[in-house]
Amino acid sequence: MTNILTEKRVRRGMAWLNRKRGSDDWMCKIDLERLDIANGMSCILGQTYGSYSLGTEVLGIQLSRSFLVSLGFLLSLKEVGKRILTEEWKRQLTKACQ
């Protein structure tokens, strides 16, 4: 079960990445079976840019942990070890790609 804050963070992250990339073409290319926000290679930025660190570098956000958390690209300290953020990304991407 998701909470409203997690849902808002993911929506904010989707909208922000759409603006940065100039389109939403990345959304339906995410492998939902592989998606894991806690893994730098299979998270949203990892799957979109090749790795989490390369994604943050390309997007110019590598130094702002709080900004990344606010966009749902990084787990908050309370979420470490939990799947809630990954599950919300899957839910929102499934909805967007129908």
pLDDT tens digits for range 32-77: 999 999 999 999 999 999 999 999 999 888 668 889 999 999 998 8
- pTM summary value: 0.91
pLDDT band with cut points at 50, 70 and 90 for residue 2? low
pLDDT at 85: 95
Domain that holds residue 52: 4-96
- Total domains in the chain come to 1
Write the burial class of residue 4 (CB in 10 Å: 0-12 exposed, 13-18 middle, 19+ buried): exposed
pLDDT at 1: 52
Classify each residue of 17-42 as buried b or exposed e, where b means 16 or more C-beta atoms within 10 Å of its C-beta.
beeeeeeeebbeebeeeebbbbeeeb
More confident residue, 18 or 81: 18
Q: What is the pLDDT of residue 26?
A: 96
